[in-house]
A = this chain, B = another copy of it.
Amino acid sequence: MNSSDNKRILLAHGSGGRMTHDLVEQLFGKQLSNPILDRMDDAAVLEHNGRLAFTVDSHVVSPVFFPGGDIGRLSLTGTVNDLAMMGATPLYISAGFIIEEGFLMDNLSRIVASMRDAALEAGVTVVAGDTKVVERGAADGIFITTSGIGSIPEGVRISCSAAKPGDVVIVSGTVGDHGAAILSKRQGINFDIQLESDCAPLGGLVEDMLSASENIHVLRDPTRGGVAAVLNEIATSSVVDIEIEDDRIPYRSNVRAACELLGLDPLLLANEGKLVAFVDADEAGLVLDAMRRHRLGGDAAVIGRVDAVETSRPRVCVRTVLGSRRILAPPTGEQLPRIC
């Protein structure tokens, strides 16, 4: 990176990978530092007559309508999922709309209807909203920022920094669906079976998992930067090594085909209806059974395990079918902008 790159915001700063991490840590984290923000989990945990989870997500996905969803559904489920990843029961959502002058009223109506349907599905209520309109050319169609409040049940302590050696790594289903759907829609690529975003609210699945075991240590939804970004964040926060096995990761065959065709690593693609869980090995079977009984966890699988750190730097490895191991680095640049 040359010096002029340091002076301006690049697309890669929004990738969910290393540059996002550095920007958040060095600029936002330093200036706004406080014990709650500093935990850098998916949602803040507030002590207020019991524990509340509080989170925010801006959505700038392009195109606004894509196979399997739209920016309305995405913005609702994205925030619901961030709350669920703290083990919280998602309750209330606020939504700030930034709309470009000239945007079709019918499309806005479709988007809001889609938020409503997703809210019903997720069991949350949209209780506050704001609308701003900017001149033609000052935004790209519509951006939606949602914030959410959830209630964390007594006893639940889930955090990105709670993974322990001996934990197994579970993924709730096929990996890379959302990223592949956006990419194929944007590039106009057609496959025999259409690629569809997995965009879905995960609160119910998490509730079932928490009922099955009290030893779920980490939950994360692998959105921007995909499974690779999330596993690396967990390894760093928990100071552990993580090893996953390539042939255990569930993929849709058309997602795998699309990635091979386009030279993409599906572990870097965004998911919007999947989670990664780190669970005490003794209870992995119970959790996996509960997940598979849920409509959004039918393809749940154990994909790896946690080890004590071998070197000074926590790392994530992938063991291939042939038995070799490669480091799974977090994404450094921007593989696919405007993914969510």
Contact = CB atoms under 8 A, between A and B. Distances in A.
B129 A134 contact: no
Contacts of A43: 128
A308 interface: no
**Interface of chain A, main secondary structure:** mixed
A79 B284 CA distance: 43
B338 A134 contact: yes
Interface residues of A, number: 79
Interface stretch (A89-97, A205-213, A243-251, A298-306): A89-97
B94 A147 contact: yes
Given A31-B116, A126-B32, A139 B143 contact: yes
A11 B135 contact: yes
Contacts of A59: 132
Interface string A143-169: 101010101000000000000000000
B31 A338 contact: no
B57 A130 contact: yes
Contacts of A328: none
A101 interface: yes
Given A130-B58, A145-B56, A100 B9 contact: yes
A30 to B, nearest CB: 9
Contact of A104 (B8, B44, B116, B337): B8
Given A9-B133, A105-B6, A134-B338, A54 B149 contact: yes
A109 B145 contact: no
A102 B50 CA distance: 43
A28 B99 CA distance: 14
A37 interface: yes
A102 B32 contact: no
Given A36-B92, A37-B128, A48-B149, 10 more contacts: A8-B101, A9-B108, A13-B133, A27-B105, A37-B127, A48-B49, A54-B92, A58-B97, A58-B130, A98-B143
10 contacts: A14-B131, A14-B134, A54-B127, A56-B130, A56-B147, A57-B130, A58-B96, A60-B139, A98-B145, A132-B340
